[in-house]
Amino acid sequence: MPRPLFIDTDTASDDAVALIIALTHPDIDVVGISVVAGNVPLDMAVQNALYTRDLCASTVAVHAGEAGPIARPLETGQHVHGHDGMGDLGLELTGRAPSGTHAVDALLAAADAHAGQLELVTLGPLSNIARALQRDPALPDRIARMVIMGAVADHIGNQNPVAEFNMWVDPEAVDVVLNSGLAVEFVGWDISRHYAVIEPDEAAELRGLGTALAEFGVDIQRCVSEFCHTETKLAGFDLPDPIAMCYAIDPAVATETRRLNCRVETTSELTRGMVVMDQLGFTGLEPNAVVVTAADRARFLEMLRSALATTP
């Protein structure tokens, strides 16, 4: 039987590829997609999720959620992904309607329907998840695992010197999640930076697969490619959400993991959103998260190619 998966996303260019990987995988039943503000404002992220879902010929419900962090104003990543979050290619990202169910209600209902089996993958800020935990503190009892694209195990950030964007946008939500008892697994930006950079020749090969999904998945990285060239100094565009999704589907994508105590910085502007990972055990606190520290690039690329080669 396919595994039930619930995806929470702030849909922009790498999120869209992660959605394609999940929606086209034969072993996965995506039982819901919830959307949160992050990379782009909520209404844009909802339209991007619906566009991607439709391109995959899926009918899974898309649920609009929180329009901003739980305790501070929203600051988006449009300087990275483009104004529309999808590379500003002129795609028709309007006119589609999400479900009438709020994302928090949808997640709680999915956890009830698949109690003890539901796997949760988050690709954006954790605002929706924190609100769900505030509504129902017993939610962790019904979630089998939660894979988070976020944080950095080497503490080299892409939003400030030490923090990754998703954690930086809503650190208070991260704090709620880390103190909830959820079975948290982090796939950080460091994993993307080391194992999921797509260089120009690889991008051309992927686009050359000739499917609508391949052309879409590569073309929407246009703005990210420029940001990676000028700001993060990578040799191509990287795909943090897709490698996190691949790990969620196939844990063998990780070649090394560690159980660590993780806490998040919520008060310092200098280190806002830093997920502090106690790698030497200084705090004496029990581990509360699994952290992926190395990955199988070849396995990731194989899963990526397989998804983009699909004709729904």
Catalytic residues: 10
- Distance from C-alpha of 255 to C-alpha of 186, rounded to nearest angstrom: 14
CB neighbour list of residue 282: distance below 8 Å, 6 or more residues apart: none
Q: Give the separation between CA 279 and CA 257, rounded to whole angstroms.
A: 12
In the structure encoding, which two tokens stand for residue 5, read together?
């998966």
**Terminal C-alpha separation, the chain:** 20
State how far the Cα of 89 lies from the Cα of 223, in Å rounded to an integer: 9
Whose tokens are 């994302």? That residue is: 103
| Cα separation, 7 vs 19, whole angstroms | 8
